[in-house]
Amino acid sequence: MRIGLKHVSGKKADGCGELYVSPEPLSYLGDIDPVEGILKGKINVRGRILAYPNAIGSTVGSYVLYGLSRNGVAPKAILLVKIDPMTLIGSIISGIPLYLLRNSKDFGRLSEYSGRIVCIEAEEIVIE
């Protein structure tokens, strides 16, 4: 299965990684530890492809993404349904690849594959 993506910022992420899908928006300040890269106290984001609808919270979130990158615990890529300013700025300053799902309805399909290895090729996510 292939799902269309639009590259928004950061370097392009060609490669594979474990997909983690959060059905709910993330608050970077409250949900992610920028030193350890731990999401919601249990998931290590390092090298994973993160997908969630959008981010919520203050502009400090941009610096949390930067902290993940600086501490070597950043995700391989972030996939969103809706781009928000703090994620966009965080992606730009950290270099974390940021993608927008071309069709928001694909988010539900994507959530079925959380925990599996998926690949980003050009502007598609490939699930086999």
Look up residue 87 and give its two tokens: 């994620």
Count the alpha carbons within 13 Å of 128 in the hemisphere toward its beta carbon. 5
φ, ψ of residue 59 to 5 degrees: the values are: -70, -10
CB of 68 closer than 8 Å to CB of 95: no
CB of 11 closer than 8 Å to CB of 99: no
CATH number of the domain to which 34 belongs: 3.50.30.10
Give the pLDDT confidence score for residue 11 in this predicted structure: 84
- Look up the domain containing 116 and give its range: 2-126
Provide the number of structural domains found in the chain: 1
111 catalytic? Reply is no
Instruction: From the candidates 22, 58, 111, 114, give the one annotated as an active-site residue.
Output: 58
- The model's confidence at residue 76, banded by pLDDT at 50, 70 and 90, is very high
How far is 89 from 61, CA to CA, in rounded Å?
Answer: 9
Contacts of 62 (CB under 8 A, 6+ apart): 28, 86, 87, 89, 90, 93
Which pTM was predicted? 0.94
Look up residue 15 and give its two tokens: 């490669």
- The model's confidence at residue 79, banded by pLDDT at 50, 70 and 90, is very high
- The residue-averaged pLDDT of 85-102 equals 95
Give the pLDDT confidence score for residue 13 in this predicted structure: 83
How far is 107 from 68, CA to CA, in rounded Å?
Answer: 24
pLDDT tens digit string along 23-71?
A: 999 999 989 999 999 998 899 999 999 999 999 988 899 999 999 999 9
Give the pLDDT confidence score for residue 54 in this predicted structure: 95
